[in-house]
Structures are given as C-alpha cells and as structure tokens.
C-alpha cells in the first residue's frame, strides 16, 4: 500500500486564505470556488505523488527481481550441474560445493521475501528508494544505471 505524506494531505485541507463569510456565516460563492479549486489542486498533487511512488515501487521490484534473481539462478544451476558429478570431486570440493549451494539457496529465499515485501508496500520509503536507485525528483528513468 502506498502512503501519502502529511504534507500531501495538508494540501487538501489547508485553504489558501481564510474565507469571507456571507449572510448567515456561510462562505461566499467566490470563496467556495477558491476552496474547491484548492482542494482539486491538492487532490491532483496527491494523485501525482501516489503515481510516482507506484512507479518507484514497480522499479524496485523489477530491479530486485531481475538483478538479484538472475545471477542466483545461474549460480544454482551450475551448482546443480556440479552436484550431479559430485562422485568425481574430492571431499573438500564437495564440502565447498555444498556450502555454495546452501548460500545460494538462502540468498534466493531472501530475494523472494524481499520482492514479496516490496510488492506489499513502499510507503515511507521514497527517499531511500530514490537514493538507492540514484533517481532525481521527477525522473522518468525506468532502470538504474
């Protein structure tokens, strides 16, 4: 779930000036129009921010899924190929292969959990995501350099 900051929410609730009251203490039509325009602008700003957070979340998920999983899959495949010929390996090499295979399996599990968590929520992580991905505000880049 993506979260809006308190600054975004304040855009919706903070009038640009105190409304003048008309007869009966109600805001004047001009003030109502201004307050409506302010609320619409705030809603549009919040929608844009949520869209940007969604884009960043998708970028982190795809980067994590690809840039972590692909090398781990290659390493695991090569470990499996070597394990098929384990009887040809000396004891120390077999132990090393078992250690590498176990480490790769743990990294794959960690990567899977990370991708799952990232899919769940990027709320509150915008600055960390931008720093990790080296993105400037407003960047339209879809993959890190």
pTM higher than 0.75: no
Report yes or no: 95 and 84 within 8 Å, Cβ to Cβ: no
- The answer on pLDDT for 114 being more than 50 is yes
Side-chain-side CA neighbours of residue 86 (13 Å): 12
Query: How far apart are alpha carbons 98 and 90 in whole angstroms?
Result: 12
Report yes or no: 43 and 4 within 8 Å, Cβ to Cβ: no
User: Tens digits of per-residue pLDDT, 49-74?
Assistant: 888 877 887 787 777 778 888 899 99
- The domain locations on the chain are 27-133
What SS3 class is residue 27?
A: strand
Quick one: angle between helices 29-83 and 126-133, nearest 10? Answer: 50
pLDDT score of 53: 79
- What lies within 8 Å, CB to CB, of 66 at 6+ separation is none
């Amino acid at each position: 779930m993506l979260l809006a900051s308190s600054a975004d929410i304040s855009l919706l609730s903070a009038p640009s000036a105190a409304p003048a009251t008309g007869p009966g203490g109600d805001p004047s039509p001009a003030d109502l129009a201004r307050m409506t325009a302010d609320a619409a602008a705030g809603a549009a700003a919040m929608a844009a921010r949520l869209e940007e957070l969604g884009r960043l979340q998708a970028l982190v998920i795809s980067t994590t899924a690809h840039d972590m999983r692909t090398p781990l899959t290659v390493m695991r495949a090569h470990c499996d190929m070597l394990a098929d010929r384990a009887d040809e390996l000396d004891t120390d090499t077999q132990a090393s292969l078992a250690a590498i295979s176990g480490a790769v399996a743990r990294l794959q599990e960690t990567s899977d959990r990370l991708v799952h968590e990232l899919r769940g929520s990027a709320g509150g992580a915008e600055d960390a995501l931008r720093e990790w991905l080296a993105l400037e505000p407003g960047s339209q880049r879809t993959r890190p350099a």
